[in-house]
Structure 1
Amino acid sequence: MGLQEEIDKMRQEIRADHYSMSIGEWISLYENAEIDIHPEYQRFFRWDKSQKTSLIESILLGIPIPPIFVSQREDGVWDVVDGLQRLSTIYEFIGKLKDEDKNPLDPLVLDKTKYLPNLEGKKWEDPYDIPNSLTQVQRLLIKRAKIDATILLKESDEIAKYELFQRLNNGGSIATPQEIRSCILVMFNREMFHWVKKLSQNEMFKECIALSERPIEEQYDIELLIRFLVFRTLEEREMKKIGNDLSGFLTDKMVEIAKNKEFNYTEEEAAFNKTFEILYEQMGSDSFRRYAPNKDKFLGGFLVSAYEVIALGIGYNYEQLSHSHINISEKVKQIWTNPEYTNSSGSGTTAQRRVPKLVPFGRQMFQP
């Protein structure tokens, strides 16, 4: 297939439409539950109060607002793909925004800005504080302002939605690939997202990975959990398809799992919990640190190459290990002097080379 044929094929798989909509219409969509802004995303986006105020200022001044990208679901509801912060700021300002549990959030109170310093302390409408409320004229000015909508129609290829999400949000308000991945998971399977979040709170898991505050804020613990779910039983021939983009590979496999109605949540939860119970009891926070044989000590911080061997190796064999008396600590120490590990985990080793070697190596090492 030549380039033009590839272009023609993909263009046929993406169906989009465009509307010019007033903010009043965007508000009505939210009030009638005809748009899903995914409140779970709020933790991944980091607009502060001044950024929110700047948006309201821009609307009042007539400065054009970038279009909102949405995807139309089978039930006709629009999923927000790009524009969450713009819409949630508007909904928060008018006092309509709700959290994940459908509880209303406090309305936004504005700060002063360079061009409109009198915005300080202003609210949408408060009958008990008229001086600090916008006037009817100002509220109508906002409700009649336009924000265009680009709609990815339900006839489009499903993959187009998350491809669009990644391309629009890379380098934007979201900081890490896993935060993007989490948003995509909410799109495809909200229940699975909450299941993953619940698993990540396992105290034995948190103790074993022993991450500092920053990686946890950036959801690296969730990424490690996704790696466990993706690679634990993945066939070796599939691992060889990683290519140069491990992040994209993880996202694609996660979406496959999210869409798989046969995925055994009970089995995977048991494997995850038992793996980290075994590690917690024998290794604790040393589980994925470098072992120095000359000092007989575990040193430094978390190493992902150790995780790929140890967590996934135990996870693959967890049922047999549950009934055996293998000394896991001694097995782990052996890994650090094994050339099969050291030759595949050094600095400069790419995920493309590392993962297809280390994961099968771990399965073999922890076989009872």
Structure 2
Amino acid sequence: MSLIDQINKKRREIKTDGYPMSISEWTSMYESGELDIHPEFQRFYRWTPSQKTGLIESILLGIPLPPIFVSQRTDGVWDVVDGLQRLSTIFQFFGILKDEKGKKIDPLVLQETKYLPALKDKKWEDDDPTQSLPKELQLVIKRSKLATSIILKESDESAKYDLFQRLNTGGSELSPQEVRNCVLVMINKVFFEWLKGLPSLDSFSATTALSDRPMEQAYDTELALRFVLLAQIQESEIKAIGDVGDFLTDKMTAVSQDKKFRRAPVKKLFDETFNVLYATLAEDSFKRYNFKKSRHEGGFLLSLFEVIALGVAFNIGEGTLCDKTEIVERARSVWKNKAFTEWASSGVNASRRLPRLIPFGRNLFQK
């Protein structure tokens, strides 16, 4: 198929519409349940009160805002694909924003800004009239329009997920896994909640020993996802992974929609693996071993996770795990293995590393 044919085919699969809508109309849709902004996403976004105030200031000053992207579901409801933080900020300022449990979030209190210092401590409505936004300014906000791009329900189902990922990757404040989490919420919320629950296992937390920053960016969930997708993957499929980020996203999307996928056996394998590692290596499971000093050093290393966690898991699943008393010695031995140290170096990208390290780990812990 030629490039032009490919483009024409894809354009036919994605049907869109677009027009400006007043903030008052957006508010009405939200309150009537015709707009789903996915309150679950709030945990992934980190706008500060200053950033939120900046948005309200921009609206008052008439500064154009980027368009809101939505996807029309078969039931007619609009899913917000991009623009959640902008809409959430507006709804919070209006005092109507609800959390995942349907409880209203405390209304936004504005801060002083460079151009509008008098915004300090202003609310949409307050018992003290001097702290309420003047009615004429409320009307300015209500009548302000936001451009809207709509992916119509006739479009290919994967279009909104692809669009969400593209709009929230690169310059976004979200980590790659946080973007995946948002996509997963839209695709299969039950699967998302299950995946998110895996890292809560005490032995997983203890063996990975992640610092606060990676945890804030959902790195623990990414590690759980890597385990789910890679622990029992066929070696022929490992060699075809290519870009690992794309693989994780695409494979996650497929697995979460696969009705034949059984979560219970995977969770059982996850629990057994990290319970074994905690009982043997504990918090040193994924740290470098210094033979000269006879001790583990440093922090979590992904390359060790790919060898040790995935290697142990595979052999548990196959019933071929070596004696548990040998795990510590075998895990430490990788630092004397030239094949490991070469492929685990920081200059080797994951698409080249995984086809070597995953089979290496499987052989390492085989009895």
Place the TM-score, normalised by the shorter chain, in its bin.
Answer: over 0.9
Question: How far did residue 106 of structure 1 move?
Answer: 0.6
In the superposition, relative to structure 1, how do residues 366 and 74 fare at CA in structure 2: closer, same or farther (>3 Å)? Answer: farther
* Deviation per residue, 1:82-114 (Å, 9 max, x gap): 101110001100111111222111101111223
- SS of the residue aligned with 2:81? strand
The answer for the alignment partner of 1:22 in structure 2 is 22
Contact 1:44 1:174 in 2 (8 A): no
The answer for the alignment partner of 1:360 in structure 2 is 359
Moved over 6 A (4+): none
One-letter code aligned to 2:128 = D
Are 2:158 and 1:152 aligned?
no
The answer for the alignment partner of 2:113 in structure 1 is 113
Task: Map 1:231-310; keep pairs closer than 5 Å.
Answer: 231-243=230-242, 245-310=243-308
The answer for the alignment partner of 2:178 in structure 1 is 179
Question: How far did residue 174 of structure 1 move?
Answer: 2.3
TM normalised by structure 2 equals 0.93
- SS of the residue aligned with 1:158? coil
Return the alpha-carbon distance in structure 1 between the equivalents of residues 324 and 168 of structure 2. Answer: 48
Question: How far did residue 202 of structure 1 move?
Answer: 1.5
Contact 2:13 2:156 in 1 (8 A): yes
- SS of the residue aligned with 1:317? helix
In the superposition, relative to structure 1, how do residues 117 and 346 fare at CA in structure 2: closer, same or farther (>3 Å)? Answer: closer
Return the alpha-carbon distance in structure 2 between the equivalents of residues 191 and 180 of structure 1. Answer: 17
Question: How far did residue 61 of structure 1 move?
Answer: 2.4
- SS of the residue aligned with 2:9? helix
The answer for the alignment partner of 2:193 in structure 1 is 194
The answer for the alignment partner of 2:13 in structure 1 is 13
Structure 2 unaligned regions, length at least 5 = none
One-letter code aligned to 2:343 = S
Return the alpha-carbon distance in structure 2 between the equivalents of residues 323 and 135 of structure 1. Answer: 72
Return the alpha-carbon distance in structure 2 between the equivalents of residues 156 and 231 of structure 1. Answer: 32
The answer for the alignment partner of 1:213 in structure 2 is 212
One-letter code aligned to 2:301 = L
Question: How far did residue 324 of structure 1 move?
Answer: 5.7
Contact 1:314 1:321 in 2 (8 A): no
In the superposition, relative to structure 1, how do residues 343 and 110 fare at CA in structure 2: closer, same or farther (>3 Å)? Answer: closer
Question: How far did residue 339 of structure 1 move?
Answer: 4.1
Task: Map 1:325-344; keep pairs closer than 5 Å.
Answer: 325-344=324-343
TM normalised by structure 1 equals 0.93
Contact 2:71 2:150 in 1 (8 A): yes
One-letter code aligned to 1:313 = G
One-letter code aligned to 2:120 = E
Q: How much is the aligned-residue C-alpha RMSD, in angstroms?
A: 1.9
Contact 1:17 1:153 in 2 (8 A): yes
The answer for the alignment partner of 1:34 in structure 2 is 34
Question: How far did residue 211 of structure 1 move?
Answer: 1.6
Once structures 1 and 2 are overlaid, which stretch shifts more, 300-309 or 333-342?
Answer: 333-342
* Deviation per residue, 1:274-293 (Å, 9 max, x gap): 11000001101111112233
Once structures 1 and 2 are overlaid, which stretch shifts more, 59-68 or 279-288?
Answer: 59-68
Overall identity of the aligned pairs, in %: 54
Contact 2:312 2:321 in 1 (8 A): no
One-letter code aligned to 1:209 = T
Return the alpha-carbon distance in structure 1 between the equivalents of residues 233 and 196 of structure 2. Answer: 22
Question: How far did residue 326 of structure 1 move?
Answer: 4.9
Return the alpha-carbon distance in structure 2 between the equivalents of residues 209 and 318 of structure 1. Answer: 19
Contact 1:74 1:154 in 2 (8 A): yes
Question: How far did residue 229 of structure 1 move?
Answer: 0.8
Return the alpha-carbon distance in structure 2 between the equivalents of residues 171 and 49 of structure 1. Answer: 23
Task: Map 1:94-133; keep pairs closer than 5 Å.
Answer: 94-126=94-126, 128-133=127-132
Structure 1 unaligned regions, length at least 5 = none
Return the alpha-carbon distance in structure 2 between the equivalents of residues 100 and 75 of structure 1. Answer: 21
Return the alpha-carbon distance in structure 2 between the equivalents of residues 7 and 100 of structure 1. Answer: 39
Return the alpha-carbon distance in structure 2 between the equivalents of residues 60 and 325 of structure 1. Answer: 65
* Deviation per residue, 1:169-226 (Å, 9 max, x gap): 2234423211111111111111222222221222211111112222222222211111
One-letter code aligned to 2:150 = I
